[in-house]
Structure 1
């Protein structure tokens, strides 16, 4: 394997390949090289797997990832790739049609968080501060929400940020260096700008500076330095983003897990923790439980795209921030979350 693929892709492919090997061994077929008919039979057998409550166990997108893993291992071993054969493509297409016709395993996109939602969640977490430990959590979660939304970051991109990836720009706000992303596996890198805003409470640079102060204090002086910082810092009632940049250690992760006693870990926050944090904040803000169940780490990125469409931004302007490489991917967000934008139904005169 080369380093051109992300570590997460390696793990996914390795797990999928082990599963295929086990299935082949149980059914008496060679896994490498595999015959196209073997792969097709594997897909059919997997698609027919049910959960104890009678639902399909695996979504079509999961099967497609497994097919990609089989192809990858064959290419790596310099064997003919069976997944490109017509019988495999036809089988996978037929499974998708069968699932769609039966209404099984429908796609369940994360609900978007729009500007009003992000502001509401930030306000709720700030109201919940009762001491220095909860203020640390507030500063991190506020930065997570505002930077995640304004930067249209995937949760993997957020948790992958190091302290040295962010700098304050005197004109633009924040410049966040994204060293690698889902659509930039070669690691070419890009910069996303998170602008200053009129109000300090919703200002991504302000949120970043407040969190970076805690990170810098923790890295240089530990718990006593953090407590001293919070005791002596004036109330957050105006912009702080034009102030001095805290001296963080550039190689350490920016967003970190926080222990129950308020101590910062050196460990980067996980993607699952971002998912849980957003749901926790929505619950704290009093959101309906059914909506909370549809929220997750992708809600910030989906919210950026949806809000931008609703505010009249064109697809290419949105892609400048999101890093999407095709307009078609943005259309998915438009269809699901902003179906009336640019829709002729609003002009027919009913």
Structure 2
């Protein structure tokens, strides 16, 4: 018995190619389809499906075949996108977006048994030429989120605590403080934070908090990794303290509901010292760690989305008195970028930084150094001026 090639529909669904030869049993085919779906992260699957639908629509409107697509057709598709302008006269699509489109087309072609058009020289050369044109004209420079350093984090979480006016606002403060301090110390991406469940985090007597990443952007196979968030000298910036204060809220909510949360916070002593050596309450293992919070302080059962992380960062920075121009430069990557930048400024080498960030090469560390810490190891600091 042989397994037939599979074709993909416009949204990435897998179907068997037409043939008189029997295919594998339906239950096996369903498991194969499921494994193929899970071979890539959910966000990647959604993006690839959207990119493929866009290409199919473009090919239909131009009278071209989408599968298999001729390399010249793909090159023309990229040129058309590169020439597309917004109402402000700026390029509508960044080179990185065009590269992702090519990857999506290759993904669909390979799964349908065809060679990837992106491997053809004309497609690769077209992409390279577009990048050069963009660079020559100064179009769509890469936007790197501004990093938040340790002093920034201390300022922001201190302001958040001082802004508490009641139990509802303290629920929000405890969540946001844990999100900020854990996100920074763990050098997490916003998607990493959004995907955490309560069972991923545990207290270690010597190390601090251990956070298990079941999967991340650079770990598509789901091998996982553990990052330690250490105890700190000051309780105000201690990630384990911030985590425990938030977990107390989760446990009270999941056990007693709204009345339990109100009782916990109204009877809580002032946060004037470390609490990270205290007892850790039990929480539902599979429940989202960072959850949405309604205006009245009630916790949602759903997890905080990745897109909400930059909103939290900007709102708290604005509340702390940061200039609106600075706030506009902050984003979900500000915590991870801040960790790398602070570590570089503190003199840590690339290998030590990569052990926490999970970077596979030192190239990105050099990017952070060049953009956010240009005076580190630079002769200009000691030339006698």
Q: TM-score range by the shorter chain?
A: over 0.9
Q: Give the SS at the match of 1:185.
A: coil
Question: How many angstroms apart in 2 are the aligned matches of 1:302 and 1:57?
Answer: 26
Q: Give the SS at the match of 1:292.
A: helix
| Structure 1 segments of 4+ aligned residues over 3 angstroms from their partners | 347-350
How far the C-alpha of 1:347 sits from its partner, in A, is: 3.8
How far the C-alpha of 1:344 sits from its partner, in A, is: 2.9
Question: How many angstroms apart in 2 are the aligned matches of 1:107 and 1:294?
Answer: 13
Question: How many angstroms apart in 2 are the aligned matches of 1:271 and 1:288?
Answer: 24
Q: Which has the higher contact order (CA 8 A, sep 6+)?
A: 1
Question: How many angstroms apart in 1 are the aligned matches of 2:53 and 2:318?
Answer: 39
How far the C-alpha of 1:4 sits from its partner, in A, is: 2.1
Tell me which residue corresponds to 2:337: 302
How far the C-alpha of 1:43 sits from its partner, in A, is: 0.2
Answering whether residue 164 of structure 2 is matched by residue 123 of structure 1, we say no
1:294-321 C-alpha deviation (Å, 9 max, x unpaired) = 0011000000000000000000000010
Q: Equivalent of 2:138, from 103, 116, 141?
A: 103
Q: Give the SS at the match of 1:168.
A: strand
Q: Give the SS at the match of 1:191.
A: strand
Tell me which residue corresponds to 1:139: 174
Question: How many angstroms apart in 1 are the aligned matches of 2:116 and 2:333?
Answer: 33
Alignment of 1:5-44 (within 5 A): 5-44=40-79
TM-score (norm 1): 0.99
Question: How many angstroms apart in 2 are the aligned matches of 1:344 and 1:328?
Answer: 21
How many residues get paired? 350
Question: How many angstroms apart in 1 are the aligned matches of 2:131 and 2:144?
Answer: 17
Q: Equivalent of 1:163, from 168, 193, 198?
A: 198
Q: Equivalent of 1:230, from 259, 265, 280?
A: 265
CA radius of gyration, larger in: 2
Question: How many angstroms apart in 2 are the aligned matches of 1:100 and 1:339?
Answer: 22
Q: Give the SS at the match of 1:174.
A: strand
Q: Give the SS at the match of 2:210.
A: strand
Answering whether residue 345 of structure 2 is matched by residue 313 of structure 1, we say no
Question: How many angstroms apart in 1 are the aligned matches of 2:115 and 2:124?
Answer: 16
Q: Give the SS at the match of 2:38.
A: coil
Q: Give the SS at the match of 2:228.
A: strand
Alignment of 1:1-350 (within 5 A): 1-350=36-385
TM-score (norm 2): 0.90
Q: Which runs of 5+ in 2 are unaligned?
A: 1-35
How far the C-alpha of 1:205 sits from its partner, in A, is: 0.3
How far the C-alpha of 1:135 sits from its partner, in A, is: 0.3
How far the C-alpha of 1:80 sits from its partner, in A, is: 1.4
Q: Give the SS at the match of 2:209.
A: strand
Question: How many angstroms apart in 2 are the aligned matches of 1:229 and 1:53?
Answer: 52
How far the C-alpha of 1:108 sits from its partner, in A, is: 1.1
* RMSD of aligned alpha carbons: 0.8
1:62-107 C-alpha deviation (Å, 9 max, x unpaired) = 1111111001000111111111111101100000010111111111
